[in-house]
Structure 1
Amino acid sequence: GVSSLYKDGAGCGACFQIRCNNSTLCSSKGTNVTITDINHNNQTGFVLSTRAFMAMANHGMGQHILKLGTVEVEYKRIPCEYKNQNLAVRVEESSQKPNYLAIKLLYQGGQTEIVAIDVAQVGSSNWNFMKRNHGAVWDTSRAPNGALQFRFVVTSGYDGKWIWAKTVLPADWKRGVVYDSGVQINDIAKEGCFHCDYSHR
């Protein structure tokens, strides 16, 4: 997605319904996609895989839409749905014990953005912040020893809240392995109050 959708990485993992405006070629349902990277091309908002691009088409029109290459689209953010799947933490290959830890978040549900992550040893209240490295990857050069817990600041619209995953990584965590956080995120974005009148009548 473009920078306004990617949001310096906070939009990575966001889900959208996209449909093209040509009713002859395209269905009104369109297709659902997930933002996975930033698009530096200012000529288009989304770069879709061939399969996703063709999925916008009416039955039998996939090759016709593909020949166009680009189409006018409309889109809206929708909740990501990962049935019976908790938020997962993948330890990236760049992680180096004992201090450097890089994680990627997977299966982030709802219409949410994770805007901050802290990490601590299980049972400790000595939290270290992690920084966004890129996209859904967060890292720290001050990883605690032992089994690790995480807390996430999750926003949906204007509201933010802490979600605490009490035991995520075992003390012997391994690079390239995906660990279940034990928490599900499924909040739906709330609309802000625009032109609200709080005056007494």
Structure 2
Amino acid sequence: MSVIVLSGGFIDYSSGWDHAHATFYGDMSGRDTMQGACGYGDLIRQGYGLETTALSSTLFNDGASCGACFEIKCIDSKWCKAGVESIQVTATNFCPPNYTKTVDIWCNPPQKHFDLSMPMFVRIAEYQAGIVPVVYQRVMCHRRGGIKFELKGKSSWFLVLVYNVGGVGQVVDVKVKGSRTNWLQMSRNWGQNWQTLENLQGQSLSFQVKTSDGGVAQSNDVVPSNWQIGQTYEGQYF
């Protein structure tokens, strides 16, 4: 059995821990983390706060990992802050690979890497470290309120941003049903933005959201028939 010693205890890798590295981006205000490749907007308003991270290509999985939650612990570095057990963050952005460089290529495949918001990085490590080795595991996401559906798109196509998802947090499938349609399969446009070309104007809307553990939350008639682009509605809990 592979076991690693941490300050204050042991981590048993049979429980799902793995190795990675962590850096940071932005500043202590978190301004540079507000927009990202998952499609989330104002992360503070949306409930994610500054407890966020960008993922390397290997972990990001073309946006399928958006919304997943991770527990991260700094290890094996003089820069790790003493007495800090771990942090928990939500995947909200992408750390793009850089194939023009031969050093500092932490986000290139097959590296497992977390580019944390600065406030989260300095919770576990000293600022001057720049990069530290970490261990991480997937954890459950704890959200206030139900799933949020932000309506986007144009008259010719319908797009919805799905966020504030609890449980495993990682949405893998979305269906929509208008008051005059059957259930319609939506496709991932980018991040956690899901689309259909069906005209749903003037219909009340229901959604089915499926997460990576197979859980399904169905929000019936969560959107009234007089909806407009730009509005946000709250559905069922996970």
Equivalent in the alignment of 2:208: 151
Q: TM-score, normalised by structure 1?
A: 0.76
How many angstroms apart in 1 are the aligned matches of 2:216 and 2:167? 15
Equivalent in the alignment of 1:9: 63
How many angstroms apart in 2 are the aligned matches of 1:79 and 1:143? 35
How many angstroms apart in 2 are the aligned matches of 1:170 and 1:104? 17
Verify: 1:79 aligned to 2:140, yes or no: yes
Q: TM-score, normalised by structure 2?
A: 0.65
SS at match of 2:58: helix
How far 1:140 sits from its partner (Å)? 1.3
Verify: 1:31 aligned to 2:87, yes or no: yes
Equivalent in the alignment of 1:190: none
Matches for 1:38-187 after TM superposition, within 5 Å: 38-41=94-97, 42-44=105-107, 45-57=113-125, 65-83=126-144, 85-92=145-152, 95-97=153-155, 99-122=156-179, 124=180, 126-145=182-201, 146-156=203-213, 160-181=214-235, 183-185=236-238
Equivalent in the alignment of 2:34: none
Structure 1 unaligned residues grouped into runs of 5+: 58-64, 186-201
How many angstroms apart in 1 are the aligned matches of 2:218 and 2:80? 46
How many angstroms apart in 2 are the aligned matches of 1:11 and 1:136? 9
Tell me the percent identity: 27
Structure 2 unaligned residues grouped into runs of 5+: 1-54, 98-104, 108-112
SS at match of 1:37: strand
In structure 2, do the counterparts of structure 1 residues 164 and 175 end up closer, same or farther at CA, with 3 Å as the change threshold? same
SS at match of 1:19: strand
SS at match of 2:115: coil
Is contact 2:168-2:211 (8 Å) kept? no
Per-residue CA deviations over 1:100-122 (Å, capped at 9, x if unaligned) read 11111111111243221111113
How far 1:31 sits from its partner (Å)? 1.4
Is contact 1:2-1:38 (8 Å) kept? yes
Per-residue CA deviations over 1:10-64 (Å, capped at 9, x if unaligned) read 210111111211366324422111101222235141111110111114xxxxxxx
How far 1:144 sits from its partner (Å)? 2.3
How many angstroms apart in 2 are the aligned matches of 1:24 and 1:155? 35
How many angstroms apart in 2 are the aligned matches of 1:143 and 1:38? 31
Amino acid at match of 1:86: G
Is contact 1:119-1:143 (8 Å) kept? no
How many angstroms apart in 2 are the aligned matches of 1:34 and 1:161? 19
In structure 2, do the counterparts of structure 1 residues 143 and 113 end up closer, same or farther at CA, with 3 Å as the change threshold? farther
SS at match of 1:164: strand
Residue correspondences, number: 169
Amino acid at match of 2:212: T
